[in-house]
């Protein structure tokens, strides 16, 4: 049987979120990161509504790849991912 251990360290999980967040700066709203926030329920919980309610961004293979890894990070380390998202959003709002 193949090794299916996909556990992630704290730094790896945060790095995957950072990769998605950074790549999303190439987009006008809605971004791949905003879709990720909708998929994990963050936007509904924190903002009261989904961010992509008027349609999801047009994504390519790379964006799907980044969202997939970010979802894996969230599945394995949800508290760490939520902490990092809060840091990134706070910095963006303050910046």
Four-residue CA torsion sign, 34, 89, 27, 77: negative
pTM: 0.90
How far apart (Å, rounded) are the C-alpha atoms in residues 92 and 51?
16
Domain boundaries, the chain: 10-94
Question: pLDDT tens for residues 24-63?
Answer: 999 999 999 999 999 999 999 999 999 998 888 889 999 9
Model pLDDT for residues 68-95, shown as the tens digit of each residue: 999 999 999 999 999 999 999 999 999 7
Residue 50 CB neighbours (<10 A): 18
Would you state the pLDDT for residue 53?
87
- For 64, residues 6+ apart whose C-beta sits below 8 A from its C-beta are none
Provide the H-helix boundaries in 24-77.
32-39, 42-47, 61-76
Q: Would you state the pLDDT for residue 1?
A: 46
């Amino acid at each position: 049987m193949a090794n299916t251990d996909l556990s992630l360290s704290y730094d790896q999980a945060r790095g995957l979120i950072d990769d998605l967040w950074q790549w999303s700066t190439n987009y006008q709203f809605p971004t791949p990161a905003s879709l990720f926030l909708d998929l994990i329920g963050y936007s509904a919980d924190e903002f009261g509504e989904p961010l992509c309610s008027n349609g999801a961004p047009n994504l390519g293979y790379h964006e799907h790849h980044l969202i997939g890894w970010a979802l894996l990070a969230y599945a394995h380390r949800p508290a760490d991912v939520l902490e990092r998202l809060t840091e990134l959003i706070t910095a963006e709002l303050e910046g």
